[in-house]
Amino acid sequence: MKIGIKAGLAIMMASLLALPVLAKPDKVDGNNYPSGRIPQEIKNNKYPRSYFPNTEKIGKDEMRITACGTGMPTQTPTNAAACFLVELGNGESFLFDMGVGATDRLSGLELDYSKLDKVFASHLHTDHVGDVASLWVAGWVGGRYTPLQVWGPSGAKPELGTKAHIDHIRAAWQWDVSGRAGALPNAGGEIIAHEFDYSKTTVIYNENGVKITSFPAIHVMDGSVSFRLDWNDLSFVFGGDSAPNKWFLKEAKNADVVVHESFFTPEQWGKISGMPYKQSYWVTSIIHTPPQSFGKIMSSIKPRLAVAYHYWNHRDVEFEMHQAIRTTYNGPLVMAADMTVINLKKDHIEVREVTFNHEAWAQGTSREWDTAPRGAPATGRMSDWLKAGTAKEMQIPPTQPLK
């Protein structure tokens, strides 16, 4: 069988075109986006009904808040544990809590992992920090070439504080991190704790016009806090777990978007968990905030938008919770689900849901990640006898230069 020169060239070109290309993001206005995505400017506050990730530019005076997790310690397929992502028009991103399952939601947003390097932990329960280690390593592999920074509260004793928590994460995953040395940027393999005094109302972050204030919360034992972010005359308040308290009523007063837990009623929790009323009341109304109390808080502080979360948002209980909130609060309200997105501007608030591809891949590592400093590869960390067991005849040779 003979193939003509033109036909042969066509086959060769088709083969070349079929070769995989490097999954590098595209730069748009200095920001990384998945290859082929060209985000558009939103004009006159005319937002599409759904938010499709990486299709919209954040305005210079805009804040975008995404609920990446709104659920409980026993997260469900529709409710990852607590995590809220705040993206600002100056290009910065902040994560408030990083509960179990939150990294799954972040991956669906196809974000630039190099921007996801700042986590603010309200307290050290798994449903608020259980995915910190996942973000640390996944972000490093996916494009972060700087350390992961974690701000979190102290505890009653040093071993109950954020520094001890992060030190133990670092120690627990040494096999993982050591084995990736050399292949990945050195700095991206670091995780740094910034522990602050949970008992003080204090500014814990103040850079590039962004100010984040921490203040005490009341939850189980010493060491829980809430946060307020102020930037460009816009404000976002995030409450982790807490009973109603005087610090929140003061610091969240008249803020733009206020996120606070709205736990189940004692009756609902008893029905769901099987707990007797005495224990159910303690859980819902002493260490957490039930919906009627959530409504009282919001009626006092009067935000532009109140956001309720931290419950299973199944319809059989959500309607009851909404009705309970409305007995004490009649202002603007969002019952947040995973992937609720809020665009905040001085003259407008838009509330939508994220629509994303559940088969989405990460956007790919950047050129900056490629060229970030690296150390020696981890190949020298294997015993000689183990390495000698390699079936070399099964290995394939490289097709490109290795230097």
pLDDT in tens, 187-232: 999 999 999 999 999 999 999 999 999 999 999 999 999 999 999 9
Query: Average pLDDT, whole number, for the chain?
Result: 92
Nearest to residue 339, comparing CAs of 74, 108, 88?
A: 108
Determine the 3-state secondary structure of 232 from DSSP: coil
Residue 105 CA to residue 122 CA, distance in Å, equals: 19
pLDDT at 316: 83
With 0-12 CB in 10 A as exposed, 13-18 as middle and 19+ as buried, what is 278?
A: exposed
How far is residue 313's CA from residue 50's CA, in Å, rounded to a whole number? Answer: 20
Q: CB 190: neighbour CB atoms within 10 A?
A: 15
SS3 (DSSP) at 371: helix
Cα 62 to Cα 349: distance, rounded to the nearest angstrom: 10
Structure-block tokens of residue 381: 């960390």
pLDDT for residue 15 is more than 60: no
17 pLDDT tier (thresholds 50, 70, 90)? very low
Half-sphere exposure of 110 (CA within 13 A, CB side): 25
Q: For residue 5, give the amino acid letter.
A: I
Which SS3 state, helix, strand or coil, does residue 183 take?
coil
User: Tell me, what's the pLDDT at 1?
Assistant: 44
**Mean pLDDT along residues 270-288:** 93
**Residue written as tokens 């939103």?**
42
pLDDT for 44 equals 96
What lies within 8 Å, CB to CB, of 305 at 6+ separation is 256, 257, 258, 332, 333, 334, 342, 344, 349, 351
pLDDT at 4: 54
Report domain extents, the chain: 46-374
* Residue 306 dihedral angles phi and psi, to the nearest 5°: -95, 135
pLDDT of residue 21: 52
Please name the residue that has the structure tokens 């100010």. Answer: 211
Over the stretch 70-128, which tens digit does the pLDDT of each residue have? 998 888 888 999 999 999 999 999 999 999 999 999 999 999 999 999 999 999 999 99
**Interval 38-45 mean pLDDT:** 95
Of the candidates 242, 237, 277, 232, the one whose C-alpha atom is nearest the C-alpha of residue 262 is 242
Residue 287: φ, ψ to 5°: -105, -10
pLDDT at residue number 213: 98
Q: What is the mean pLDDT of residues 302-319?
A: 92
Structural contact between residues 255 and 300, judged by C-beta atoms closer than 8 angstroms: no
pLDDT for the residue numbered 14: 43
The Cα–Cα gap between 4 and 151 comes to 66
> What is residue 161's three-state secondary structure?
coil
101 SS3 class: coil
pLDDT tens digit sequence for 286-309: 999 999 999 999 999 999 999 999
Going by CATH, does the domain composed of 46-374 fall within 3.60.15.10? yes
The answer to whether the CB of 25 falls within 8 A of the CB of 366 is yes
148-153 β-sheet, strand order? 50-51, 348-354, 340-345, 63-69, 83-88, 93-96, 118-120, 148-153, 191-196
Q: What's the pLDDT at 91?
A: 95
Cα separation values, 374 from 25, 123, 173, 181, 278, Å: 21, 33, 19, 8, 57
Question: In this model, does residue 134 exceed pLDDT 50?
Answer: yes
Contact residues for 263 (Cβ-Cβ < 8 A; gap 6+): 269, 283, 284, 288, 289, 290, 291, 310, 311
Residue 87 phi/psi, 5° resolution?
-115, 135
What does the pLDDT look like over 259-272, one tens digit per residue? 999 999 999 999 98
pLDDT one-digit tens code per residue, 21-31: 567 899 998 89
Closest among 351, 355, 301, 294 to 328, alpha carbons compared: 294
Are the beta carbons of 344 and 89 closer than 8 angstroms? no
DSSP states of 71-92: --SS-BTTB--SEEEEEETTS-
